[in-house]
Chain A
Amino acid sequence: MTLEILIVFALLATMISMGTPISFSMGVAGALGLWLTLGFAPMSGILQTTPYRSSASFLLATVPMFLLMAEFMSRSGISSGIFRAANAFLYRARGGLAQATLLANAFMAAISGSSTATTAAMASVALPEMRRHGYSDSLSLGIISVSGTLAIMIPPSIPLVLYGVITETSIGKLLIAGIIPGLLTAAGYAAMIWFKVKRNPAIAPDITHLENKPEKPVREVVRAWDGILIATLVLGGIYSGAFTPTEASAIGALGTFLIAVFYRRIGTRGLISAFASATNITGAIFLIVVGAMIFSYFLSATQVSRELVTWVQGLDQPVILLLCVLLLIYVLLGCFMDQLAILFLTLPLFFPLVMSWGMDPVWFGIIVTKTVEIGLITPPLGMNAYVAAGATGAPVAKIFRAIMPFLFVDIAILALLVAFPILSLFLPNLM
């Protein structure tokens, strides 16, 4: 049995390193493993039922709906209104435009489950403003890239939905649990902006003396009614229990669609492009689900997860040390791999292990999602840096340098979340 396991894991690692899609790699390795351990007929039986069964789950409809909502949102100019409202409140503060970008992104995160869509939308709105007012790229590029990652934690969050599906944890509780860690991260970024500008005021010139000031905050908030309405519908619906997360995601998508079409903020080409993008991404994500499910059958057949739990328990080390090693693995994987792929690849192995330590599944979900968030800004493959580079034309290396101070904030927040589970569990415990 050990030889078969070694062969399968070697094949999986080789295929992934070769650049073969993660979904193909997990599916092929899992199918070969099933053939070697159970025989051809059981393997083909699993290949017959798994692709259909693993996509036929009503809960999973949340993913394409949140993706569609993010696509409509980023194309309908909702982000501009939110940025203007945030700026009206914060332009007097130290590094006001950067703080406004952060606040606007935190709000956008509440109506978009897609970090890249949020980053791309805000980069095109906020960066020109910051450059026009003489803000240093070392501040503006950094805050644009990192604040987009808030969409990963602040609900609606696609990684949290998928974590819930893989581990059979309550998606409603997971989504609500992401609120405090998300806001804490935003507060950490705000503190870092304040600190950077206090140390070197030249990176964010004072703009309060300018003639062309933003309008009164209340007026700008009224103008940003569309974003506020969608956020209220989605978050209010989930938190009050009026809608399930899946229903809230569909209503959010329909709401952004109606606003975009009714107010003529999106043309036919934009609509087609939004559907095309959401459909493509859904196909790519769900194919990973299919591959992961096939691989999970192999893990179950060989009881690799149980063996791993027994082996780790035999190490007789403190749980906190083991958890830190686990999180280090997640952060390191995040440097090289797609974050959703990491979830599907590791959770079937690590989740039973973590549960054997008595950890709360919601807490672990938040911690893992935080590592996912960090993976979006760590070189060499931090996706948000590439999105910001694409949207702004800045070199990726420069963006990664601008991100570094904020990366330290993220690591500190991760440590806080590990040290104080109540930060993640306070809100879900109220439900």
Chain B
Amino acid sequence: MMKILNSALIVVEGALYVGAAVCLALMMLSISGDALGRYILGTPLPGVHELTEMYLLAGVVFLSIARAQRLGNHVAVESFEAFFPKGLRRVTRIVGRALGSTLFFIIAFKSGQMAWNQYMMGNMTSGAVAFPSWIGWFLVAIGSAALVLRLFLQIAQGLVNQEPDDTGSHTLEESGQ
């Protein structure tokens, strides 16, 4: 059962990650196009600031966080945890993930609520290009919801002692320094 849930979640995380990578590529192309268009053609691309701020950044960040949790890429201090006995380490991970999942459950719920309200009101931005406001909130909501599901699964795996060893290892290498 746990394996099926894990496989299903990996598929979801993979799909979200593709979305995040597309957002990243679009960000590179649109910001460069805007700057180069300004210099070469004398006309910047309209709406690039809004597109980047409202959708692309939210997409890159929130669509990738569940996968990053599975891969153990979220930055953490492991120097103390390494000295804990195995049983205590398991308990502390479960507690940490339970607290984290509570936080992101609230974030997912409240962002989803905001996305729905914005959608129902038909809110649009007022810049040169009118973008629907709800999409950015929606990206936060689904990314956070996927993270909550991943954390729930990791908690369940921890409780039944099925967690692959050291999946929570967070390498500092991944923090981009």
Contact = CB atoms under 8 A, between A and B. Distances in A.
Interface of A: 15-25, 27-28, 31, 44, 47-49, 51-52, 55-58, 60-61, 63-65, 67-68, 70, 113-116, 152, 158-159, 242-244, 246-247, 250-251, 253-254, 257, 275-276, 278-288, 336-341, 372, 376, 380-381, 383, 386-387, 390
27 contacts: A18-B93, A19-B81, A20-B92, A20-B96, A22-B76, A23-B74, A23-B75, A48-B110, A52-B58, A55-B62, A56-B54, A56-B57, A116-B173, A244-B35, A247-B31, A250-B31, A250-B35, A251-B36, A279-B17, A279-B21, A282-B64, A284-B68, A287-B65, A338-B77, A381-B172, A383-B173, A390-B173
Contact of B113 (A48, A63, A67, A341): A48
Contacts of A386: 171-173
B111 A61 contact: no
Nearest to A120: B173
B176 A48 contact: no
B176 A250 contact: no
A340 B173 CA distance: 11
B139 to A, nearest CB: 8
Given A22-B75, A58-B52, A380-B79, A64 B68 contact: no
Given A47-B106, A242-B39, 17 more contacts: A19-B78, A19-B80, A19-B96, A28-B102, A31-B103, A48-B110, A49-B114, A56-B58, A158-B177, A247-B31, A254-B29, A282-B176, A283-B68, A284-B73, A287-B61, A338-B172, A380-B79
Contacts of A381: 79, 172
Interface in B11-46: 17, 20-21, 24-25, 27-29, 31-32, 34-36, 39
B60 A64 contact: yes
A286 B61 contact: yes
A364 B8 CA distance: 48
A21 B140 CA distance: 19
B10 interface: no
Contacts of A64: 24, 27, 57, 60
B99 A20 contact: yes
Contact of A275 (B24, B58, B73): B24
Nearest to A27: B103
A23 B21 CA distance: 22
Nearest to A255: B32
Contacts of A251: 31-32, 35-36
Contacts of A25: 96
A279 B53 contact: no
Given A28-B100, A48-B114, A247-B35, A341 B177 contact: no
Given A20-B99, A23-B75, A58 B32 contact: no
Given A21-B75, A282-B24, A287-B65, A58 B53 contact: yes
Q: How large is the interface on B (under 10, 10 to 19, 20 to 34, 35 or more residues)?
A: 35 or more
Which of B17, B103, B113, B177 gathers the greatest number of chain A CB atoms within 10 Å? Answer: B177
Nearest to B136: A52
Given A286-B61, A338-B172, A61 B114 contact: no
Contacts of B113: 48
B96 A279 contact: no
A399 B18 CA distance: 37
Contacts of A57: 53, 57
A340 B31 CA distance: 25
Contacts of B75: 21-23, 284-285, 288, 338, 340-341
B71 A243 contact: no
A51 B107 contact: yes
Contacts of A336: 77, 79
A340 B103 contact: no
Interface in B132-159: 136-137, 140, 144
Given A17-B80, A251-B36, A246 B103 contact: no
A31 B97 CA distance: 15
B140 A52 contact: yes
B129 interface: no
A301 to B, nearest CB: 17
A281 B35 contact: no
Contacts of B34: 247
B175 A284 contact: yes
B21 A276 contact: yes
Interface in B96-127: 96-97, 99-100, 102-103, 106-107, 110-111, 113-114
Contacts of B65: 283-284, 287
